[in-house]
Chain A
Amino acid sequence: MDDVAPLPDVEIGEIIGMLEYLKEEGGKTDIYEIADDLNLEIDDLVPIIKAAELLGFANVENGDLILTKLGEEIVNGDENKRKILFKESLKKLPVFKKVLNILLSSQEHFIDKHELLSMLKQEMPEDEANTTLRSLINFGRYAELIGYNPEDKEIYLDKIMEE
């Protein structure tokens, strides 16, 4: 199995907002110019760019950020289309693959949050495991891939997947 890389600590709205901005700039712009234009610190921008790259929505080339075809589809799509595309991208990430496998193979299709956190801690430093879990729940909920019940602290499979 691929290495389970940590997920950046960003919000869906930040990723989509950046893609929308990028489209307005003609689909390609200098990373330093984004920071300058929007009064952002590069440190704040980097995780959002990383997330967009990880999901295949944007690429970094020679200091430019470039909107991919998939990224453009996200920007142009309605909310349902966005969720579907997000879902497809998430399913390809090793960390999601791993969690989905666990959920699919368990009888009740759920896993305790703390149990999952300790599994993530075996793969990455504690800080990153915490933010990865947060983003995993956030992204998963948005894409309606996984759900999280805050009462029981359980992560579950949102809908039994077609494939």
Chain B
Amino acid sequence: MEELLRLKDVTQLFPLKKKNVVVLDKISFSVHEGEFVSLVGPSGCGKSTLLRIIAGLVKPSSGSILFRNKEIHGINLHVSIVFQTFGLLPWLDVTENITLGLEARGVSLKERLRKAFKYIDLVGLEGFEEAYPRELSGGMKQRVGIARALVMEPELLLMDEPFSALDAFTAQNLREEILRLWSSGKLSLKSIIMVTHNIEEAIYLSDRIIVLSTHPGRVIGDIHIPMARPRDRDSIEFTKLYDKIYSMVVMAKI
């Protein structure tokens, strides 16, 4: 499969008391089409910052981001982000929240609505079109967050702890939904990168897990998950991978 994204020596410094703290230290990896990659690491390893750098929302101190072999400066229009805390605008209803980004790109109202209804249907939000965020549960809010990202028809979807603000069952339900969408072939998506601190979730969902250390954030592991889906959390293979990655993350903290 073709390479979609490449990070070359991405370094991020954060000035603190006249001294530069290295948050991310020469991060290099590639993501290919068809891959679901998770970034896992202890809190403070800069994984959310890295996601923002990939989206072009934050400029790295040094290093470069290539998307389809072209260096990216500024916001990457082929990328959308799903946030942990949903990031919905409370004064807009579900449909308006979903189409906001299209409106900003000058898409006509007719086309906006056509696309909105397509993704509302895909993420299971039919019936909630006119609801306001305050009327929605966390799970439904995140469905809006996902639809809002997908409606831009990105090639790369970034998800920053997308399930960690949800209760256990709702999170489980949404993970299944993401897998279902991902494997449906109905999306423009070529790859997904997800940041999570939940190792079990990373193994359950991804094709590959990149493990980051903290202070500074460095790539300390790049593990392929060869298991077929749906994955059995109680299987020996799953447990072995869990133990392996868990010990890497623990070591990364020390």
What is A's interface to B at a CB cutoff of 8 Å?
A: 11-18, 20-21, 24, 38-40, 44, 48, 78-79, 82-83, 137-138, 140-144, 147-151, 158
Contacts and interface: CB of A to CB of B under 8 A. Distances in A.
Given A11-B140, A14-B167, A14-B169, A78 B131 contact: no
A20 B131 contact: no
A17 B169 contact: yes
A150 B131 contact: yes
Nearest to B135: A150
Contact of B127 (A13, A18, A21, A141): A141
B32 to A, nearest CB: 28
A55 to B, nearest CB: 15
Contact of A83 (B126, B131, B173, B177): B126
B interface, by DSSP: helix, strand, loop or mixed?
helix
Contacts, number: 80
Interface residues of B, number: 29
Interface in B62-76: none
B201 to A, nearest CB: 13
Contacts of B138: 11
A75 to B, nearest CB: 9
22 contacts: A11-B139, A11-B170, A13-B140, A13-B166, A13-B174, A14-B173, A16-B169, A17-B169, A20-B172, A21-B169, A38-B168, A39-B168, A40-B168, A82-B124, A138-B137, A142-B124, A142-B127, A143-B127, A147-B127, A150-B130, A150-B131, A150-B135
A78 B143 CA distance: 15
